[in-house]
Amino acid sequence: MQPGMDAAPDLARLVVLGSAGLAEGFRLVGAEIHADADTATLDRVLEELAHSGTAALVLLESTLAHAGSPWLDRLRNEGGRIVITELPPLPSPETYAPAVDEVVRAVLGPDALSPD
């Protein structure tokens, strides 16, 4: 390493939980995948992330994002080093409506997201 250069920071983990078809696509970019994960797997993975101290970006297929996981609720409320976001379902992306849509409509009105 050259003088005055800092060591590379620890890299954040990229973790994907969802259907096998969706998750396998993320394996190509080096993501840690949990194919066909259920809520028990989701809780186990999120608990491990919470205790590890490592930063992470967690991508959840929408079915898991709405599964009612205690660890998911806790980490969403805490914010910070673990960022959790939702992915549309692979077989029917047209049915996907992100949770932020409700917030935008509440703030800007019911027509805020309508195409002009």
What domains, with CATH codes, occur in the chain?
13-89+97-108 (3.40.50.10580)
State the average pLDDT over residues 11-19.
90
Task: Answer yes or no: are the C-beta atoms of 59 and 16 closer than 8 Å.
Answer: yes
Q: Can you tell me the distance from the alpha carbon of 56 to that of 85, in angstroms, rounded to the nearest whole number?
A: 11
Task: Tell me the three state secondary structure of residue 5.
Answer: coil
The better pLDDT of the pair 81, 112 is held by: 81
> Is residue 3 pLDDT above 50, yes or no?
no
DSSP state of 10: P
> Is residue 5 pLDDT above 50, yes or no?
no
DSSP state of 67: S
Measured on CA atoms in the order 93, 97, 99, 103, is the torsion positive or negative? positive
Task: Answer yes or no: are the C-beta atoms of 105 and 78 closer than 8 Å.
Answer: no
pLDDT of amino acid 21:
84
DSSP 70-82: HHHHHHHHH-SSE
Question: What digits encode the pLDDT tens for the residues 17-74?
Answer: 998 888 888 988 899 999 999 999 999 999 999 999 889 999 998 889 888 889 998 9
State the average pLDDT over residues 65-84.
87
Strands 32-35, 13-18: pairing is parallel
Count of C-beta atoms within a 10 Å radius of residue 45: 20
DSSP state of 102: H
Instruction: Look up residue 108 and give its two tokens.
Output: 């800007």
pLDDT of amino acid 35:
93
pTM: 0.73
